[in-house]
Amino acid sequence: MESSEEAAVEKCRVHLRPGTLRDAARATLHLLPCEVLVNRPAPVDRFFTPAIRQGPDGLEVSFRGRKLRGEEVVVPPGLVGYVMAMEEQGEVSMEKDFSEGDEREEQERAEPREALERDFDQFIGAIASFSRFTLWGLETIPGPDAKVRGALTWPSLAAAIHAQVPED
Amino acid sequence: MLLLVYLSASLPRGGHGGGRFPPTWPSIPRLGGLDPWPLGEVALFLRPGQAGAQPRGPGHGAGSGVHGPRESGAGAALQATGLFILQTNGLRLEALNPAAPTGGASGTPGRSLEGDPAHPVPPKELGGRPWELQFPGSRAAGVSVAAAETSTVAGASGACPGHRLVGSQSRFGAGGKRAPRTAPVDLVLAVGGGGRDGMDFSELDRDNTGRCRLSSPVPAVCRQEPCVLGVDEAGRGPVLGPMVYAICYCPLSRLGDLEALKVADSKTLSESERDRLFVKMEKDRDFVGWALDVLSPNLISTSMLGRVKYNLNSLSHDTATGLVQYALDQGVKVAQVFVDTVGLPETYQERLQQRFPGIEVTVKAKADALYPVVSAASICAKVARDQAVKSWHFVEKLQDLDADYGSGYPNDPKTKAWLRKHVEPVFGFPQFVRFSWRTAQSILEKEAEGVIWEDSLTGDQEGPGRIMSYFSKGPRTHPRLPHRYFQERGLESATIL
């Protein structure tokens, strides 16, 4: 959250609904090696999942006529994956989320109550959780050098370099 | 359940527990790829465990000697049944699928076991494997099928991969109303569902996302005599469904017999004529063999749209080459190959000739009209393609699927309408569609969401800077890039949502 550069950035404040993290259902996720230029629900269960085959060296499927090879990626221990969605503006905020919200690492502590509900306040909540997902590569298995795998090593490194160093 | 196949005339009705007449057609499992069954083809399966050993019936007395060594067990019982049928009908048993599948030298291709009481077959020859009985070259009228009341064979499980009983017609239908010569019958008896007749699409039904090879048994004579082999394809142009490559071969000495079937370019024949000709070829399986590759539309799409493009011509050439090699691997003595061309005949011919130096290769346009063996291949290919399209199992779970997609050719308005109707905004089309076809692509461009692939980004991100920028006085302004650690992991810092 940037609040100092109010001139440049449109002011906005994001609040997490902590309750949604507890209730989020497990989801099956696929990370494709392409960008679909739309954000909308897709019939994955009807078109994609039934077409997945176990090939000699990993999973195989095709998307838009191109061959994909995939493998499972496990979220590192100590972390949980969430699929987050922004609430539509104008949706009624549920106060109970804040009353029972205890500290979580991703959570922004609630502002004083009177500060909420301004038009720059937005709410996000988890709509699903995951501890593994299928990573797909275009014609090749993404393998250990895949960017995503590298990215998943960052949290532990970040924790290490930000940890308190004993003073002696 | 053991079902034995007889001519009705050879069986007194009363003696068979009121054997069922007429047979229950709908329950007969389909053995080949032809639908509906050509008139007169009958297939019955013997389910292991209940197979009868000694069917009662006329000829039983005469055949009592055929039971051979009276060994107990499934093998012996099946053998007895088999030999009984052999003897009553004057048949001989041929191994369809010799134990060693590779090479002509190994195994005992074309081994024959006559139904001869004097030379009983050791039980191990028959027991424990499915076998099939066939009366070739006959057509049917006045034939009935009876569920024979038989004794039980315990544990007759399993399977001899395709033994075939080949009969002469001389004693066929003996005993009463002889089936008219003009309309004899084909009877196929199979144990344990070893369906090797016609085209067995079960593998394709199981998975139609890749490629699938089907083939006939190799006729014994094709392993002994020099053969001529034809190559042709079906379904190259359509935007829907698989492409099928087929080879068909027969001994040079029997080419006349193949011509006598009046095979012709499959394009000049109606579907029923093609089916009829294919059945004829199946009847001549003692000297005509075929094999085919079904290339799924998904395989075609992913090949043509690969990072390294694998175009349809190369795919076709490689598939044809693979099939010729397959025939050679099966022990077929290929002496001449005739190929309907794809692309330039000269370069194609050179390529094939180099690949198969010992074989005389002829590549020609319209070879399917010029050479009967290529016509035969074109019929195999077309019959298979029609069958595959007709019984296509959609991988996707589609709602209100419209089966009326016309010819499948891109210029068919029906096909185009079908494509438009079945666009899914994210996934595009079902895998039945060849995504690589221009027709499909242009419909996707208009009616589906855009997709950007990692390899479709052409280096316009960091184009070359303006020349003048090298002469500017001020400090060169580069956007500050994050540390390499983050770049390599695709990590960016985010400050706003």
Q: In the beta sheet, which residues pair with residue A82?
A: A129
Residues B247 and B272 in one domain: yes
Residues B168 and B223 in one domain: no
User: Where a domain ends, among B371, B390, B409?
Assistant: B390
User: CATH says A13-143 is which class?
Assistant: mainly beta
Domain that holds residue B59: 8-191
Residue A47 in this model has a pLDDT that exceeds 50? yes
Percent of chain B whose predicted confidence (pLDDT) is above 90: 34
Residue with tokens 């666009």: B423
Residue B97, domain member (yes or no):
yes
pLDDT classification of B495: cutoffs 50, 70, 90? low
Please state the φ and ψ torsions of residue B258, each to the nearest 5 degrees.
-65, -40
Residue B287, domain member (yes or no):
yes
Is the preceding omega at residue A76 within 30 degrees of 0, hence cis? no
Residues B181 and B213 in one domain: no
Say whether A159 sits in a helix, a strand or coil: helix
Average pLDDT over residues A74-95: 76
The Cα B258–Cα B63 span in angstroms is 37
Per-residue confidence (pLDDT) for residue A118, from 0 to 100: 64
DSSP state, B102?
A: S
Per-residue confidence (pLDDT) for residue B171, from 0 to 100: 29
- Across the interface, do A62 and B301 touch by the CB < 8 Å criterion? yes
Is the preceding omega at residue B36 within 30 degrees of 0, hence cis? yes
Cβ atoms of B71 and B184 within 8 Å: the answer is no
- Would you say how long chain B is, in residues? 497
Residues B225 and B176 in one domain: no
Per-residue confidence (pLDDT) for residue B91, from 0 to 100: 35
Average pLDDT over residues B67-94: 37
The Cα B372–Cα B378 span in angstroms is 10
Q: Tell me the shortest Cα–Cα distance from B443 to chain A, in angstroms.
A: 12
CA end-to-end span of chain A: 35
A164, burial (CB in 10 Å: exposed 0-12, middle 13-18, buried 19+): exposed
Residue B397, domain member (yes or no):
no
Please state the φ and ψ torsions of residue B271, each to the nearest 5 degrees.
-60, -40
Residue A119 in this model has a pLDDT that exceeds 60? yes
Residue B79, domain member (yes or no):
yes
Domain positions in chain A are: 13-143
Residues B142 and B275 in one domain: no
Residues B101 and B226 in one domain: no
Closest to B162 in 3D by CA, of B79, B94, B107? B94
- Across the interface, do A148 and B490 touch by the CB < 8 Å criterion? yes
Cβ atoms of B187 and B134 within 8 Å: the answer is yes
pLDDT classification of B47: cutoffs 50, 70, 90? very low
Distances (CA, A) of B201 to A7, B196, B387: 69, 10, 9
The Cα B426–Cα A134 span in angstroms is 18
Residue B497, domain member (yes or no):
no
Residue B422 in this model has a pLDDT that exceeds 60? yes
Q: Does B489 touch chain A (CB under 8 A)?
A: yes
Residues 220-279 of B with CB under 8 A from A: none
The Cα B334–Cα B252 span in angstroms is 10
Query: Cα–Cα–Cα angle for B200, B202, B207, nearest 5°?
Result: 135
- Across the interface, do B397 and A45 touch by the CB < 8 Å criterion? yes
Name the token pair of B193.
């569902």
Residue B449, domain member (yes or no):
no
The Cα B301–Cα B422 span in angstroms is 17
The Cα B94–Cα B162 span in angstroms is 9
Residues B78 and B173 in one domain: yes
Total count of domains within chain B: 2
The Cα A145–Cα A130 span in angstroms is 22
pLDDT classification of A44: cutoffs 50, 70, 90? very high
Per-residue confidence (pLDDT) for residue B207, from 0 to 100: 79
Q: Does B492 touch chain A (CB under 8 A)?
A: no
Q: In the beta sheet, which residues pair with residue B44?
A: B189
Residue B3, domain member (yes or no):
no
Residues B335 and B216 in one domain: yes
Residue B436, domain member (yes or no):
no
CATH number of the domain to which B254 belongs? 3.30.420.10
Residue B404 in this model has a pLDDT that exceeds 90? no
Name the token pair of A53.
């085959």
Mean per-residue pLDDT of chain B:
66
- Across the interface, do A48 and B427 touch by the CB < 8 Å criterion? yes
Residues B113 and B247 in one domain: no
Residues B147 and B36 in one domain: yes
User: Where a domain ends, among B167, B191, B215?
Assistant: B191
Residues B30 and B102 in one domain: yes
CA dihedral B380, B382, B386, B391 (to 10 degrees): 40
**Residue positions of B in the annotated binding site for a divalent metal cation?**
232-233, 340
The Cα B444–Cα B168 span in angstroms is 58
User: Where a domain ends, among B191, B218, B250?
Assistant: B191
Average pLDDT over residues B384-404: 86
Residues B209 and B343 in one domain: yes
Question: With contacts defined as CB-CB under 8 Å, which chain A residues touch B428?
Answer: 64-65
Per-residue confidence (pLDDT) for residue B473, from 0 to 100: 65
Q: Tell me the shortest Cα–Cα distance from B196 to chain A, in angstroms.
A: 27
Q: Which amino acid is at A116?
A: L
ipTM of the complex: 0.74
